[in-house]
């Protein structure tokens, strides 16, 4: 569907995208993750032909975007939800895009309905909140009913109901066989939405894998243990090869031994357990671990 090959973009001395290669899969939501400035938006712009690559290539169904005979029916995109004319109404905005792309007028009301903007279809866009802009942008992307969707941070500005709605919508669109690429730096949100992740840092590909594998590979989980004879248990676990940290609240965090092994050891040494909880690292931790070396804009504590 979308094939990115050795894609590179330099702006003067800044390398925004450095030799990216990936394929976008149909039928799944792919999360496009990376810290601020990682090159997510630049990559999306190059896919859409809005920016010329310094080297490398991007094709959609085997062709560069500009050679697509009916782009609105092939790729739907939301890059910047605010880049719309505020004096137009939602309906007139969608109508001119539909007209330009040869999309029937009736589709406009359909997409307004899908994104929940029917009641404000005749309101001027200037009066819209950020979340309403996002919804309008998604409506625009859906106009041509395309098999590929590229959405740059669509969750930004949505309320919790909106986040839930978008998550369901994206999953449904993917289930119909579409390829959906969604960028975000909200890792936990992505964990709920995406089945596959592409992680980039400083323009380079860091990971291209199913989300489960990503969470497992990125950071190890630990087991939290509470027991009345904590010091004794700690010694036993260390002997068995666990890395044990004592938490101030009176629990142990154990890495390297799973919950079953810890439970068996406690039984063997007749040490009572009050809590034995596997704690999974989660996507947030995996992301931080993977992109640690590639975060460009970091807050420096204690510096002014
Ligand atoms: N038009 C431009 N001119 C010069 N530099 C640019 C331009 N566009 C992007 N860059 C630089 O390219 C790098 C990647 O930017 P990009 O916007 O693609 O990152 P991003 O992953 O989308 O970040 P964010 O999460 O903040 O949206 C940054 O260092 C940015 O400053
Ligand atoms: Mg961006």
pLDDT tens for 30-45 read 999 988 889 999 999 9
- Based on the fold, state whether residues 39 and 67 are members of the same structural domain: yes
Neighbours of 86 (CB within 10 A): 12
Q: Which residues partner with 278 through β-bridges?
A: 223
- Based on the fold, state whether residues 99 and 247 are members of the same structural domain: no
Does 50 contact ligand 1 (Cβ within 6 A)?
A: no
- Based on the fold, state whether residues 101 and 51 are members of the same structural domain: yes
Q: Calculate the average pLDDT of the chain.
A: 90
Q: What is the pLDDT of residue 302?
A: 45
Distance CA 41, CA 46 (A): 9
Domain hosting 261: range is: 222-279
- Domain end, chosen from 187, 210, 233, is at 210
- Based on the fold, state whether residues 44 and 129 are members of the same structural domain: yes
- Taking only the tens place, the pLDDT of each residue in 151-166 is 999 998 888 888 998 9
Q: What is the pLDDT of residue 218?
A: 57
Structural domain includes residue 285: no
- Based on the fold, state whether residues 141 and 202 are members of the same structural domain: yes
How many angstroms separate the first and last alpha carbons of the chain? 48
Contacts of residue 43, defined as CB under 8 A and 6 or more positions apart, other chains included, come to 4, 7, 17, 20, 32, 200
- Between the CA of 230 and the centroid of ligand 1 the distance, in Å, is 50
Kindly tell me the burial class for residue 118, based on how many C-beta atoms sit within 10 Å of its own C-beta (0-12, 13-18, 19 or more): middle
Q: What is the pLDDT of residue 303?
A: 40
Query: What's the number of CA atoms in the CB half-sphere (13 Å) around residue 232?
Result: 12
Compute the average pLDDT of residues 74-89: 92
Structural domain includes residue 295: no
Atom of ligand 1 nearest to the CA of 200: 21
- Between the CA of 56 and the centroid of ligand 1 the distance, in Å, is 18
Residue 168 has pLDDT above 90, yes or no: yes
Query: Residue 212 — pLDDT band, cuts 50, 70, 90?
Result: confident
- Domain end, chosen from 159, 180, 210, is at 210
Query: Residue 295 — pLDDT band, cuts 50, 70, 90?
Result: low
- Based on the fold, state whether residues 243 and 95 are members of the same structural domain: no
Residue 304 has pLDDT above 60, yes or no: no
CB-CB contact of 297 with 36 (8 Å):
yes
Structural domain includes residue 292: no
- Domain end, chosen from 166, 185, 210, is at 210
Contacts of residue 129, defined as CB under 8 A and 6 or more positions apart, other chains included, come to 157
- Based on the fold, state whether residues 180 and 230 are members of the same structural domain: no
pTM for this structure? 0.80
Does 201 contact ligand 1 (Cβ within 6 A)?
A: no
CB-CB contact of 40 with 34 (8 Å):
yes
CB-CB contact of 229 with 271 (8 Å):
yes
- Both tokens of 54, joined, read 């310094």
- Based on the fold, state whether residues 61 and 167 are members of the same structural domain: yes
- Based on the fold, state whether residues 10 and 147 are members of the same structural domain: yes
Structural domain includes residue 291: no
Number of domains the chain is built from: 2
Query: Residue 279 — pLDDT band, cuts 50, 70, 90?
Result: confident
- Based on the fold, state whether residues 251 and 109 are members of the same structural domain: no
Does 9 contact ligand 1 (Cβ within 6 A)?
A: no
Structural domain includes residue 142: yes
Compute the average pLDDT of residues 98-109: 95
Contacts of residue 126, defined as CB under 8 A and 6 or more positions apart, other chains included, come to 86, 87
Mutating to test ligand 1, I would choose from 4, 13, 18, 38 the residue with most ligand atoms within 8 A of its C-beta, which is: 38
**Which residue owns the Cα nearest ligand 1 atom 5?**
11
- Between the CA of 37 and the centroid of ligand 1 the distance, in Å, is 5
Residue 99 has pLDDT above 90, yes or no: yes
Q: What is the pLDDT of residue 159?
A: 87
- Based on the fold, state whether residues 53 and 198 are members of the same structural domain: yes
- Between the CA of 11 and the centroid of ligand 1 the distance, in Å, is 9
């Amino acid at each position: 569907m979308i094939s990115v090959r050795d894609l590179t973009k330099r702006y003067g001395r800044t390398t925004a995208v450095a030799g990216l290669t990936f394929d976008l899969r149909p039928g799944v939501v792919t999360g496009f993750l990376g810290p601020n400035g990682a090159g997510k938006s630049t990559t999306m712009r190059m896919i859409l032909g809005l920016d010329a690559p310094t080297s490398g290539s991007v094709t959609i169904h085997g062709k560069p975007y500009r050679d697509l005979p009916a782009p609105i029916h092939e790729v739907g995109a939301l890059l910047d939800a605010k880049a719309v004319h505020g004096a137009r109404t939602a309906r007139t905005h969608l109508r001119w895009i539909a007209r330009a792309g040869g999309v029937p007028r009736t589709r406009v009301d359909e997409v307004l309905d899908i994104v929940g903007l029917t009641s404000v279809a005749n309101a001027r866009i200037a009066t819209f909140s950020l979340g309403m802009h996002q919804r309008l942008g998604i409506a625009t992307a859906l106009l041509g009913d395309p098999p590929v969707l590229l959405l740059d941070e669509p969750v930004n500005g949505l309320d919790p109901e909106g986040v839930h709605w978008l998550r369901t919508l994206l999953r449904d669109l993917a289930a119909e066989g579409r390829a959906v690429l969604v960028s975000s730096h909200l890792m936990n949100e992505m964990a709920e939405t995406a089945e596959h992740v592409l992680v980039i840092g400083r323009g380079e590909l860091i990971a291209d894998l199913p989300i489960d594998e990503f969470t497992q590979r990125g950071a190890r989980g630990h087991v939290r243990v509470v027991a009345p004879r904590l010091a004794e248990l700690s010694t036993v676990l260390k002997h068995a090869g666990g890395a044990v940290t004592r938490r101030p609240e009176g629990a142990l965090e154990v890495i390297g031994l799973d919950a079953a092994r810890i439970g068996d050891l406690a039984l063997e040494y007749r040490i009572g357990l009050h809590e034995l909880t596997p704690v999974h690292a989660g996507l947030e931790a995996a992301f931080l671990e993977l992109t640690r070396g590639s975060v460009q804009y970091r807050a420096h504590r204690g510096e002014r």
